[in-house]
Structure 1
């Protein structure tokens, strides 16, 4: 019973966090620092074969938009939710550790470095789990981290680069499709 409560409460909290505002499928615009951010779209058609990973991906998408918008505070919120969900995936502690790095990062450059590690882990987990509905795109920016390059996952083919934000929002390309 204790184990059920220990596992159930964080999962329920994560789903509650995701469900808040889930009744709208319209674009939402967030006003931060006198800048309008990129609309966050909730795409109910995307489903991953693992329910916990499905919930984590929803927050990962939120994190990606926050970094593309240069929004440190939103990135920390999304990473905090990812960390809570990642603790429920017993096979992967790296995901939780990378999310924790984003939460504690003092600036957006350090958030983006941790996001790169988190994205690599997410790609591996998503490939392993597979998709129940729709597909996801592994996108790549060759210029990230002094031309070492970095990947991220997107629900659309449209490139919105989380590594450079507004400086180079369209830099990147689709490298792979996760089905």
Structure 2
């Protein structure tokens, strides 16, 4: 529980500060890649058998939504939170390194490549840990990365493709269910 608090408080502060922002009505020029605001979907309640993975998954939802909206800055913010939480995982997980690769990626294509590695690692961890409540869907896009295909995790069956974003938002299918 102390680890959850140790991770949760800094992550919550980051999100609180970014959500509150500046209350002044100043107009700033936003780079084209960041003009689309990211709405984090209200997903069904998911309870994973590990508190740290629960926290990581909530930021993973934010990351997936950012990539689906082609938003580089929001993806970096979410990946930074994932990296902080992943450092607390005891297993030999590459989750922190995969999240760090997203944070340092210069463009959305490189972010998506690192996101694929992160998603594969998270799927593996979730299968080992299991679900306490609800279920997660492993969704698959067969066209990602030159038709090699790639997976991501969602708590709904609705496809919101993070690999092609707005270009092909609904491309993909449910590949398996994690219970």
**Category of TM-score, reference length = shorter chain:** 0.7 to 0.9
Runs of 4 or more consecutive aligned structure 1 residues displaced over 2 Å after TM superposition: 7-12, 14-21, 32-39, 41-44
Unaligned runs of 5+ in 1: 22-31
Partner of 1:89: 89
Hey, what's the Cα distance between the residues in 1 that align with 2:99 and 2:168? 24
TM-score, normalised with respect to structure 2: 0.83
Partner of 2:22: none
Displacement of 1:92 in angstroms is: 3.1
The number of equivalent residue pairs is: 166
TM-score, normalised with respect to structure 1: 0.83
What root-mean-square deviation, in Å, do the aligned CA atoms of Structure 1 and Structure 2 show?
A: 2.6
Displacement of 1:132 in angstroms is: 1.0
Unaligned runs of 5+ in 2: 19-29
1:31-50 to 2 correspondences below 5 Å: 36-37=36-37, 39-43=39-43, 45-50=45-50
Partner of 2:64: 64
Hey, what's the Cα distance between the residues in 2 that align with 1:35 and 1:15? 24
Hey, what's the Cα distance between the residues in 2 that align with 1:125 and 1:83? 15
| Pair 74,38 (structure 1): closer, same or farther in 2 beyond 3 Å | closer
CA contact (8 A) 2:47 2:132 kept: yes
> What's the CA shift string for 1:100-158, capped at 9, x where partnerless?
00000000000000000000000001111111111110000000000000000011101
Hey, what's the Cα distance between the residues in 1 that align with 2:77 and 2:145? 24
| Pair 9,70 (structure 1): closer, same or farther in 2 beyond 3 Å | same
Hey, what's the Cα distance between the residues in 1 that align with 2:58 and 2:138? 15
Partner of 1:156: 156
Hey, what's the Cα distance between the residues in 1 that align with 2:178 and 2:41? 19
